[in-house]
Amino acid sequence: MKRLCFLATVLSIGVGGRVWGAGFAIDVHGGRATGMASAVTAFIDDAEAAYYNPAGLAQGKVLDLRVGITPIVPAFKFDSTNSGQTTDGIVQVAPPAHVYALYGITDQFSIGFGFFSPYGLKVPWHSNWEANYLSIRSELKTFYFNPEVAYRVTDQIRLGAGVQIVRTTVSLTQAIRLPGGDFGQVDLSGGTWGVGYNAGIQIDIIPKLLSFGGTFRSTVNSDITGRAHFSNILPGLQSKLKDQGASTHLTLPGQFALGVAFQALPALKLSFETDYIGWQVFQRLAVNFEDPSLNTVNPKNWTHTWNYHFGAEYLLNPNWALRAGVLYDPTPSPQDTISPELPDANRVNIALGAGFHWDKFAIDAGYELVVITNAKTTYAPLPGSYSGVANLLSITFGFHL
């Protein structure tokens, strides 16, 4: 029964779409921002601000609509200390979507809405790999519905705030080692709702030259419930390993970002920001089953992290913009808790992008190469190292009136 502790990990994390951000964070929610490695908190001024900084929604009497998708193609592998084998993970495309709306009611007051997935996980392994008893597949999804308001206090100061309504779903599959060398299987799925808030500020320190931005997202606490389905269980164990309910408490971490943007040339904007994510909420993960003898606790001992973004945007002409950026994103996980359901590591993201605007329409595209550095794990059941790369392309279509 010891291997059922994995259920605690999955239920307690509860998110979706593995996009290779450290931990399980996602920050690729718009073509413009992705092309700048998401270094846009200080100056974002279109409907994408609903995610990146709600203060940027205060743009006067305008209507701005944005919709897009970010196909992500990961490739990762595990080198086992125990067996000496190398196992390649299964390549599957994860396509998180984003939708934004901005409407200026007056020159000072605006409303906005965002739909996005700021946390995510999708990790599939082969069903017969050496650690199938730890994980075959984990898929966790979050869907944030974020209505917001923004207000221009002065010509140089904008404020914004909103409510986060969050839907989380979880599904997983893992093998169970049985006496005599046989394997059973457990499949689990569940879901929950949670509520939080966000806020932001933008300040034009020197108008048209230097700006500052800050934004904050709260933690989201929820009680998640699910159901475990056991299959291929030996007759003598079926009374113990039987279908039943399971529950746990879920906390999605809070985060804040601080950024500055500098108009280095009339056509060139440079930006830098640092983001804090409160991963320390994951100290220990516990799950409760209908059968209390199956209850488990799984230590994670994560720590908070700071990641660092640098971006540039060059206006080639009134219609075209070129973008680039780089991001360093460290893992919150200590070596002794890195496990196959969430094979975490430090990451370096290299970004390129372009935007085309014509009349009332726009299309923005951003590409990132994510280099997952070699991460050694001393996790007792499965020591070794994880590494890999991911390619992602964020495309956003816009309409501005």
Tell me the per-residue pLDDT of 298-312, one tens digit each, with 9 for 90 and over. 788 899 999 999 999
6-58: per-residue pLDDT in tens? Answer: 333 333 333 333 344 566 788 899 999 999 999 999 999 999 999 999 999 99
pLDDT at res. 246 = 85
Q: Where are the domains of the chain?
A: 2-400
183-214: per-residue pLDDT in tens? Answer: 888 888 888 999 999 999 999 999 999 999 99
- Position 147 pLDDT exceeds 60: yes
CATH superfamily of 2-400: Outer membrane protein transport protein (OMPP1/FadL/TodX) (2.40.160.60)
Report the distance separating Cα 248 and Cα 340, nearest Å. 21
Q: How far is CA 62 from the centre of its chain?
A: 30
The 3 state secondary structure assigned to 262-326 is EEEECCEEEEEEEEEECHHHCCEEEEEECCHHHCEEEECCCCCEEEEEEEEEEECCCCEEEEEEE
- H helices of 16-103, in order, are 31-34, 49-52
The SS3 of residue 161 is strand
pLDDT at res. 36 = 97
Report which secondary-structure segment, H or E, holds 398. strand 384-400
* Highest mean pLDDT: which range of 111-125, 141-155, 272-286: 141-155
pLDDT at res. 120 = 79
pTM reported for the whole predicted model: 0.89
332-342: per-residue pLDDT in tens? Answer: 989 888 888 77
User: What is the b/e burial string over 174-203, where b = at least 16 CB atoms within 10 angstroms of the residue's CB?
Assistant: bbbeeeeeeebbbbbebebebebebbbbbb
- Residues 13, 327 contacting (CB under 8 angstroms): no
Taking the C-alpha atoms of 395, 159, 274 and 163 in order, what is their torsion angle to the nearest 10 degrees?
Answer: -70
358-376: per-residue pLDDT in tens? Answer: 999 999 999 999 998 878 8
pLDDT at res. 14 = 34
